[in-house]
Structure 1
Amino acid sequence: MIDRDTLADRIEDLLPQTQCTKCGYDGCRPYAEAVARGEANYNQCPPGGAQGIARLAALLDQPVLALNPANGEERARPLAVIDETLCIGCTLCMQACPVDAIVGAPKLMHTVIDELCTGCDLCVPPCPVDCIEMVPVTGERTGWEAWSAEQADAARLRHDRRAERLAREREAAEARAAARRAEAAASAGTLAAQAPAQDEAAKKRAIIQAALERARQKKEALAAQGVAPKNIENVSAEVQAQIDVAEARRQRLGAAALTAGKPAGQPSADSGSPPGNSKDDRDDPASSGNR
């Protein structure tokens, strides 16, 4: 009994390596493995044609069958030709080509490298502008008469290299995505670690703001009781300028206290001291000029 792995290798060697998927599998290797397992019949490869079926039948010691029409028909080998006047450079045909026989760039014209094309037809369906035509190039020759073992080996090599490149690109993309997720998680952890300090600063700001509001209310209450200064109608321009400087300084001190989290230079809300009697104001020349 032939080992299945070895049998799959030998079956694959007899396939034309066009990677056309007409057999119902993703490529020649998956089809070979399915035949070796007995899950697929050996008459499902249109590019190999009658001669290909005969080769597989001899290997498997089975009778020669006709090509299964559900998989297609034996035909002259075609070549993909792109109408350059219609191509929009969408790259969909490049992505579909299993052997990298199409070259181009996004939004630029694409072209087919004739000697690399296997005639698989896979570039035709995804083209959104229907600019690809499959043109027969082997006349009356079909199947293995229109293909060679050397061409099959070269196509298999290009297909395998493409598969390896795509795998590397997927791994690189997954690594970049993982790095982004890790960075996002680290950022979230940093924000979580900073949250307690931010909460404490917010509490301090709230306390300061409440104290300032109480001081404002107390000042208004004193003014309503007539405790506030009364001689404010006949203030000279010089004295008013000194008052304005002092008031601006007190506002700056209050704003700085809110930012720093401490009531720097702000009179105590419970002291009852009227504006202008704090230590900072006693030291301010502008304030002293008003006494």
Structure 2
Amino acid sequence: MNDSRTLADRIEDLLPQTQCTKCGYDGCRPYAEAIAAGTASYNQCPPGGAEGVARLAKLLGKSVIPINPDNGVERPRPVAFIDESLCIGCTLCMQACPIDAIVGAPKQMHTIIKDVCTGCDLCVAPCPVDCIAMIPVTGIATGWDAWTQDQADEARVHYGRRQARLASERDAAEARLAARRAAASSTASSASTPGAAPNAASAAEAQSPVTPADDAQAKKKAIIEAALERARRKKAEMAERGDGPRNTENVSADVQAQIDAAHARRRRLGIDESAQDGTDTPAPRRDKNEDTPA
């Protein structure tokens, strides 16, 4: 029986479906397509580890090579943990999670569905209050020894459902926008007929229609500004009590790098909350015995 699947399909079947983007692509499918096209190597998936490289090498008829250190290191699988006492309900982690493993609501505590979480780390950097830690849960087991095919299949289903939901939400938003534009155009047309009273507001809306990108950008900016304001207030209250973030001990080098990148990005954007409210955020500290990956 002939296998009708493409090479990209077969490569994707061998990937762990963590959707972590450590390979340098937006997800497991784009990475699989890049390998199939010859534009990416088959050693760029740290969650799959050495076993993952061996599986891909066998499929491609190539030799087994080490994981590219530029993409990360093979490690025990972690699960995200949210310190709910620090969570401000900004929803940025929920937006970052590729498989909807985080539940919560705006201005409410969020929590991780640990049996769904793939340990992708993508929720760590966006958090404005650094309340997310990645906790290893597989002992010394790494790569495919720390991850099963059933878990990969389930993660793939969750990812597909999220992508379908996002597409549906985009379609609905575009339909609402089209309806508003049609209504504005109709109003402007009526205002231009003889004897009709001019409607300056409708004319202005017709001349400067709001685009989906404008709506999304304004919403994102409002969410970030509101979250940062709540974070500043909470951190000021904690500073008065002499408290600080509680997940700053023994973080991994990967998590530390993401936290540092998040701080640097906020400083570049001019929204470094510690600089604005005069409080200091303790920098997460690595275990002194922890080795930093190459």
CA shift digits 1:194-216 (9 cap, x unpaired)? x44669xxxxxxxxxxxxxxxxx
SS in 2 for 1:116: coil
Cross-structure match for 2:151? 151
1: CA distance between counterparts of 2:129 and 2:87?
7
Aligned 8 A contact 2:15 2:28 in 1? yes
Please list, as runs of the form range in 1=range in 2, the aligned pairs for 1:132-211 lying within 5 A after superposition: 132-193=132-193, 195-196=194-195
Aligned 8 A contact 2:91 2:106 in 1? yes
Cross-structure match for 1:111? 111
Q: Evaluate the alpha carbon distance shift between residue 59 and residue 187 of structure 1 in structure 2; reply closer, same or farther with a 3 A threshold.
A: same
SS in 2 for 1:114: coil
SS in 2 for 1:135: strand
Aligned 8 A contact 2:96 2:123 in 1? yes
State TM-score, norm by structure 1.
Answer: 0.66
Cross-structure match for 1:123? 123
Deviation at residue 5 of structure 1 after TM alignment: 5.9
Q: Evaluate the alpha carbon distance shift between residue 159 and residue 190 of structure 1 in structure 2; reply closer, same or farther with a 3 A threshold.
A: same
Q: Which amino acid aligns with 1:50?
A: A
State TM-score, norm by structure 2.
Answer: 0.65
Unaligned runs of 5+ in 1: 200-291
Q: Evaluate the alpha carbon distance shift between residue 76 and residue 197 of structure 1 in structure 2; reply closer, same or farther with a 3 A threshold.
A: closer
Please list, as runs of the form range in 1=range in 2, the aligned pairs for 1:28-39 lying within 5 A after superposition: 28-39=28-39
Q: Which amino acid aligns with 1:164?
A: A
2: CA distance between counterparts of 1:28 and 1:136?
22
1: CA distance between counterparts of 2:121 and 2:169?
25
Aligned residues: 197
2: CA distance between counterparts of 1:116 and 1:196?
63
Cross-structure match for 1:57? 57
Cross-structure match for 2:98? 98
Cross-structure match for 1:80? 80
1: CA distance between counterparts of 2:169 and 2:3?
34
SS in 2 for 1:115: coil
State which structure, 1 or 2, has the greater radius of gyration over its C-alpha atoms. 1
2: CA distance between counterparts of 1:8 and 1:192?
56
Q: Evaluate the alpha carbon distance shift between residue 68 and residue 86 of structure 1 in structure 2; reply closer, same or farther with a 3 A threshold.
A: same
Deviation at residue 174 of structure 1 after TM alignment: 0.4
CA shift digits 1:245-285 (9 cap, x unpaired)? xxxxxxxxxxxxxxxxxxxxxxxxxxxxxxxxxxxxxxxxx
Structure with the higher fraction of residues in helix conformation: 1
Deviation at residue 105 of structure 1 after TM alignment: 0.3
Aligned 8 A contact 1:11 1:56 in 2? yes
RMSD between superposed Cα atoms in Å: 1.7
Deviation at residue 6 of structure 1 after TM alignment: 1.1
1: CA distance between counterparts of 2:187 and 2:26?
42
Cross-structure match for 2:279? none
Deviation at residue 97 of structure 1 after TM alignment: 0.4
Q: Evaluate the alpha carbon distance shift between residue 125 and residue 198 of structure 1 in structure 2; reply closer, same or farther with a 3 A threshold.
A: closer
Cross-structure match for 2:43? 43
Cross-structure match for 2:19? 19
Q: Which amino acid aligns with 1:138?
A: T
Return the structure number with greater relative CO, CA threshold 8 A, min gap 6. Answer: 2
SS in 2 for 1:32: helix
2: CA distance between counterparts of 1:8 and 1:21?
17
2: CA distance between counterparts of 1:198 and 1:126?
49
2: CA distance between counterparts of 1:197 and 1:75?
71
Q: Evaluate the alpha carbon distance shift between residue 155 and residue 3 of structure 1 in structure 2; reply closer, same or farther with a 3 A threshold.
A: same
CA shift digits 1:226-249 (9 cap, x unpaired)? xxxxxxxxxxxxxxxxxxxxxxxx
**What is the identity percentage for the equivalent residue pairs of Structure 1 and Structure 2?**
70
Aligned 8 A contact 1:4 1:37 in 2? no
